[in-house]
Amino acid sequence: MNALLLAAEGEPQPPLLPHLDELVIGLIAFVIVFGFLAKKLLPNINKVLVERREAIEGGIEKAESAQIEAKSVLEQYKAQLAEARHEAARLRQEATEQGTAIIQEMKAEGQRQREEIIAAGHSQIEADRKAAAASLRQDVGKLATDLAGKLVGESLEDAARQSRTIDRFLDELEEKAEAVR
């Protein structure tokens, strides 16, 4: 122990004077660390750090683009919905108009038909009346001829008898008319 102490004291080694061997070891120690870290390990981690940042930023970007897309789809959907509503309203309007037009047409047609029918009835009646009048005239003529024949044929003794014949004739006429009716 004392020898060591003496050896230490004997060596004139001021504390600020570097020992060359130690200096070299110090340099080597740094070179080892720097070599490994600079050539392999730090590039390794830098790559991953960049990748990580990209992954995070990519994720954010993706989310943003998805949001934008969703928004545009929503807009589109809304626009389509509005268009559809508009279209429906338009169709309804059209249908209403068409319906009204059809009703109008039908009414007009009905009116026309009714008038036609009425007109046909009138002309029928007129024709019937004319036919009736014609046949009546014929009948009346014939009756008058009959009556005249009877009047001429019978002995015209008295006015009473004549009036009776006329009455009778008129009654027959009435009966006939009744029968026709």
Partner 1 sequence: MSADQTLAFDPDCHIFTGCGFPAPGLHTFIYEPIATWGSFELTKPMLLAVLSSIVVVGFFWAAFRKPQLVPGKMQMVGEAGYDFVRRGIVYEIIGKKDGEKYVPFMVSMFFLVWMMNLWSIIPLAQFPVTSLIAFPAALALIVYVLWVSLTFKKHGFVGGWKNIVGWDKSLGPILPLVVVLEFFSNLIIRPFTHAVRLFANMFAGHLLIVMFSLASWYLLNGIGVVYAATSFVMVLVMTAFELFIQAVQAYVFVLLACSYVQGALSEHH
Residues interacting with partner 1, by CB under 8 A?
A: 1-2, 4-5, 8-9, 11, 13, 15-30, 32-34, 36-38, 41-42, 44-45, 47-49, 51-52, 55
Contacts of 161 (CB under 8 A, 6+ apart): 154
Instruction: Supply the minimum distance, in Å, between the C-beta of residue 31 and partner 1.
Output: 9
Instruction: Supply the minimum distance, in Å, between the C-beta of residue 60 and partner 1.
Output: 16
Task: Measure the CA–CA gap between 164 and 153, rounded to whole angstroms.
Answer: 15
Task: Measure the CA–CA gap between 51 and 77, rounded to whole angstroms.
Answer: 37
Instruction: Supply the minimum distance, in Å, between the C-beta of residue 62 and partner 1.
Output: 16
The answer to whether the CB of 154 falls within 8 A of the CB of 165 is yes
| 130: its two tokens | 């004319």
Nearer Cβ to partner 1 (18/153): 18
Nearer Cβ to partner 1 (13/96): 13
Provide the residue type at 20 as one letter.
L
Task: Measure the CA–CA gap between 48 and 27, rounded to whole angstroms.
Answer: 30
The answer to whether the CB of 37 falls within 8 A of the CB of 46 is no
Nearer Cβ to partner 1 (45/134): 45
Instruction: Supply the minimum distance, in Å, between the C-beta of residue 63 and partner 1.
Output: 18
The answer to whether the CB of 165 falls within 8 A of the CB of 151 is yes
Nearer Cβ to partner 1 (56/118): 56
Nearer Cβ to partner 1 (49/180): 49
154 φ/ψ angles, rounded to the nearest 5 degrees: -80, 160
Instruction: Supply the minimum distance, in Å, between the C-beta of residue 12 and partner 1.
Output: 11
